[in-house]
């Protein structure tokens, strides 16, 4: 158990809908990262938040957004869903030191299925 929790574990929805994925980082970690894992693209970095502020964006679509709240939990919002958004979404957290060699610990993921 990494200490990172994600809800829900599974999510099934229809095209055009909007969903919210939730992540609680390990106790004391200030950084939260979101990754998407699909069969054809592998694990792709989406976005990084540190102590409530966005720090970096990766291959994140404009239909997707995220935020990190004062209690450090994070939410990933996916809107206007398409079939191709079906994937595993992982949250990871790290201590958030200034050293970029900050180990990221992953949660169990949310499996999103868009029908």
Partner 1 sequence: GENVGLHLPTLSVQEGDNSIINCAYSNSASDYFIWYKQESGKGPQFIIDIRSNMDKRQGQRVTVLLNKTVKHLSLQIAATQPGDSAVYFCAENRGAGSYQLTFGKGTKLSVIP
User: x-or-dash pattern for partner 1, window 37-76, by CB under 8 A?
Assistant: --xx-xxxx--x-x----xx-x------------------
Q: Is the dihedral of CA 37, 41, 43, 45 positive or negative?
A: negative
Residues in the interface with partner 1 (CB under 8 A) total: 28
Judged by CB under 8 A, which of 11, 25, 107, 114 binds partner 1?
107
Judged by CB under 8 A, which of 31, 68, 74, 93 binds partner 1?
31
Interior angle at CA 49, CA 22 and CA 74, nearest 5 = 15
**Cα-based distances in Å from 82 to 2, 39, 61, 68:** 31, 16, 12, 25
Per CB under 8 A, residues contacting partner 1 are 2, 4, 31, 33, 35, 39-40, 42-45, 48, 50, 55-56, 58, 90, 94, 100-109
């Amino acid at each position: 158990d990494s200490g990172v929790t994600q809800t829900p574990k599974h999510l099934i929805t229809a095209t055009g809908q909007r969903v919210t994925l939730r992540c609680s980082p390990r106790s004391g970690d200030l950084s939260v990262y979101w990754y998407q894992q699909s069969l054809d693209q592998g694990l792709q970095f989406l976005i990084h938040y540190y102590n409530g502020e966005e720090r970096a964006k990766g291959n994140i679509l404009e239909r997707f957004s995220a935020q990190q709240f004062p209690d450090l939990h994070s939410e990933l919002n996916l809107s206007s869903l398409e079939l191709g958004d079906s994937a595993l979404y992982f949250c990871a957290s790290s201590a958030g030191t200034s050293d970029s060699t900050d180990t990221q610990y992953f949660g169990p993921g949310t499996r999103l299925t868009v029908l």
